[in-house]
Structure 1
């Protein structure tokens, strides 16, 4: 990871003055300044978006071409973004023999987050013919016997013990190792990977799409020709913002954390257990318009690596401070209240990002995931469930469908918006989970304990239902019938829950909350007929 040369990037002294705990705790990293610059870069893109969500940079142009560039290479698909996009690209190159280009403004196959998933979901890679079981095993850092969810209840009228569930986010994956395997496979084909290229402009023409890029280091412009452009540049994709008229994101989950060594092992709440995953854990009530939530997942036991995340769920328009660097300061300050560290504790690498979510409030406001000769995937599409807080699981579960439909589109030369929109279609089940996630967002006038109390009621409801319901809920697969049971049980345990939420959402928001759930029920019924 190279240190950015941008004159706007703060110096290490500036970082230390403004974020002392973060700079101090990352001191063990040889490339500390580069990591700080990467966090700052992502935060700046987010703040630019938040200052004016409706403003969009024009990056997609129709029926035109750059006048001063010539095409240097032709591909069938060009991908911008080298993480989740690389997985899609590798299937297209190895299974369907498509010539693809994958570029990234940093390094293709390197990510600033690690992944957790279940063995059942990992088998989708095998079914998609991307990885063998043996190859997947080389990227598995750990497997847990079980995992649990526990919300703070010291000030809650509803006390709920930890809710345990098996086969949910119970396999820790070394993301970079898995991506490295995908990159090696892709390189053995007629395809290509280019690092340090930034997307500049996309020119959509009748029979092709031209993708203009800029070399991050030299500023040199390069032009590529393709049948299809796939955008997987992440949360704040300028392409996604433009084709959605600035309404590509409605909710977000700012997330920070570390992979670290030196936590105290044991069975106490504040000690780590390499056989148990902590899926959602809160240790305090809401403050500063945020309900902070922890995740804890053990990695490679021999390396003594343990990943902890701190995050909160929020709307784009709320007053809560969504700065990643500020959240890192909170993380390092509050970490001892979550897990004990021994004298040898040190950071192996930071993990961070903004994880997007979309709640559609209107029949015509469903997020667009395609335009003519343009397809969005991963966080750029932003269609993953807010409860799982990661696009990886959703991408893996749908990888076979996404790649097969992409191949069908190329074969039939059906690369217009109408057909491509069906590839990464909006899922009503995700909408109903988005509705439930509203429970996790504190209100301005609500008590600090409201979110924890409400979520304790939801967990109590889940504990009274069949264990498959909780598993399906955290894997975006819950049926409407099961979802209805969860809501009814929650209302019985906590009668005022919906009154409080409807007060937060307002009349219009409440209408669309109910409409989204009704749509999910209708979609499920139609799918069965």
Structure 2
């Protein structure tokens, strides 16, 4: 029995079985065997009546939108394939990003504090042979998913919403004036369906027609007791050169049940890539050096593992009306991030207002709904960053190439100050920050990457970078215009704001 099997077999919840399931799925995706269920069908007929206004498929993140819409007076039903409950592992977030939950009156300030289980400062950013950079109030809040979802579910039900657990959506029929969502037990007629089923949503897979992802973030980790030092965290840290054709990065956060540590890496979905079990074995080998402790001293409470696909063409555009992807289903998050909680909170107010307008003005055709998940150049430019932090299966390069690049970039951002550094660390890229940073990065660290990135990747990035500048200018101009109730004009203003990363400024003005 290997080290992974031996240690996981001693942990409650049978994580070994979960690892094997995740690895089977990861194997299928690297070999191009992505399931393509024809879950969505269309009809030329019209619906004569509705059971509700909105059906939310997938409640983990969808319950947030469901609760807000229900409170606004819409009749909402949530379909969940299992039990609608959060996991034990905490979601790390910045306090400024949590304010939206009280602003939208989903939680009171007291209730929000009750779902915060941990808070720490400072956090470290450091790469091999580089100096540590210590930052405060960035992803330093640990929110309990279990406590948060329990409160949101209770409020949703109190406000008149309905939750059907153990009812996965199996088929959808799209009509001109509505849609029918079916499970093995239910048939629901509705005006709008929100797809919150995550990265592996069968609706999203059908829309992408089985296409392999352009990038993968592979993640393993654990929460354990027994660490002597547990008062600070790591946002991103590396202490090894390129290993097994990828660069290992680490995160660490104090948690209610001990300390959470992650090992993650960026790569493509090539068939020769290693398994999650292999990466978890690497994690266990390197964890003692990383945290200056012995494995025997640790009491592992749970393990985490998974892979997070991302696509250049994101957010995904559904070819049907009446269905809107939300959260991870939409792909509307940075390709360098593997947590959808922060992205969901960042767009929660925008999506709430947009869906409310779409229902009021009956703008639920596919062209109108596409404006609720618009092109975001501030996310598209980060594709170059993910590419620069990955190594091809057959690629030969300097083992310290990625660490040298990261040291050079963060040294410049640190010198430029918090206005540049803090948004970037929270997956918000702004034109002014990039324009200040890029010219000052030592060209010697960038030069070796240029042949690997290729002309196509660089030209594509330049297009997004220029678009980011246009969106930033357009946003500042749009603030001078009078308010509007027009659905498309309002969505354009939001696209300029969020696509340029200027929503970050609003969030931090409230703190």
Q: TM-score, normalised by structure 2?
A: 0.86
Partner of 1:401: 350
1:77 CA displacement? 1.5
What is the alpha-carbon distance in structure 1 between the residues aligned to residue 43 and residue 382 of structure 2? 40
8 Å CA contact 1:82, 1:110 repeated in 2: no
What is aligned with 1:510?
A: 458
Q: Is the 8 A contact 2:222 2:303 kept in 1?
A: yes
Deviations 1:282-328 (A, max 9, x none): 1211122221111000012xx5x11111111123347432x333322
What is residue 12 of structure 1 aligned with on the other side?
A: none
Is the partner of 1:98 in helix, strand or coil? coil
Alignment partner of 1:286 out of 242, 264, 267: 242
Aligned position for 1:11: none
Q: 2:56 — aligned with what? A: 79
Conserved? CA contact 2:182–2:188, under 8 Å: yes
Where structure 2 has 5 or more consecutive residues not aligned to the other structure, the ranges are 478-511
Structure 2 partner of 1:476? 427
Q: Summarize deviations over 1:254-297 as a string: whole Å, max 9, x none.
A: 1121121112x2xxxxxx332x2210011211122221111000
Say which of 469, 472, 478 aligns to 1:521: 469
Query: Is the alpha carbon distance of 1:138 and 1:26 closer, same or farther for their aligned partners in structure 2, counting shifts above 3 Å?
Result: farther
Q: CA deviation at 1:399?
A: 0.5
**Paired position in structure 1 for 2:202:** 238
- Report if the CA contact (8 A) 2:88-2:146 is conserved: no
Find the counterpart in structure 2 of residue 25 from structure 1. 7
C-alpha separation between the residues in 1 aligned to 2:145 and 2:163?
18
Compared CA separation, residues 192 and 248, structure 1 to 2 (3 A): farther
Structure 1 residues 277 and 193, CA, compared in 2 at 3 Å: closer, same or farther? same
1:81-127, Cα deviation, whole Å (9 max, x unpaired): 22111222122223x13222222223212347531111111101111
Aligned to 1:273: 230
Hey, what's the Cα distance between the residues in 2 that align with 1:184 and 1:51? 42
For 1:507 and 1:182, locate their aligned partners in 2 and report how far apart those are by CA, in whole Å: 48
Number of residues of Structure 1 aligned to a counterpart in Structure 2: 472
Provide Cα deviations, 1:374-428, integer angstroms capped at 9, x if missing partner. Answer: 1111111112123343121111011011111111111111111111111122311
Take 2:301 and 2:80, find their aligned partners in 1: how far apart are those partners? 24
Q: Decide whether the 8 Å contact of 2:86 with 2:148 is kept in 1.
A: no
Partner residue of 1:147?
123
Cα distance per residue 1:462-492 (max 9 Å; x no partner): 12211221101122333212112221222x3
Contact 2:12–2:301 (8 Å) recurs in 1? no
The match for 2:176 among 206, 227, 230 is: 206
Structure 2 counterparts to residues 56-135 of structure 1, below 5 A = 56-63=36-43, 74-94=51-71, 96-111=72-87, 114-135=90-111
Does the Cα contact within 8 Å between 1:228 and 1:415 map onto a contact in 2? yes
Q: Which has the higher helix share?
A: 2
**Displacement of 1:373 after TM fit?**
0.6
How far 1:455 moved relative to its partner? Answer: 0.8
Deviation (angstroms), 1:248: 7.7
Distance (Å, rounded) in 2 between the aligned partners of 1:168 and 1:484: 23
1:142, 1:171 within 8 Å by CA — same for their partners in 2?
yes
Q: CA–CA distance in 2 between the matches of 1:166 and 1:101?
A: 40
Whole-Å Cα distance in 1 between the matches of residues 265 and 463 of structure 2? 25
- 2:278 alignment counterpart: 326
1:102-501 to structure 2, matched below 5 A, reads 102-111=78-87, 114-153=90-129, 160-214=130-184, 221-247=185-211, 249-263=213-227, 265=228, 272-274=229-231, 276-300=232-256, 303=257, 305-317=258-270, 319-321=272-274, 323-339=275-291, 340-341=293-294, 345-360=298-313, 367-368=316-317, 371-443=320-392, 444-490=395-441, 492=442, 495-501=443-449
When residues 476 and 345 of structure 1 are mapped into structure 2, their CA distance, relative to the original with a 3 A threshold, is closer
Report if aligned partners of 1:60, 1:202 keep a CA contact under 8 Å in 2: yes
Change in 2 beyond 3 A, CA 1:341/1:225: farther
Cα deviation for residue 24 of structure 1 reads 2.4
Distance 1:510 1:374, change over 3 A: same
CA contact (8 A) 1:235 1:355 kept: yes
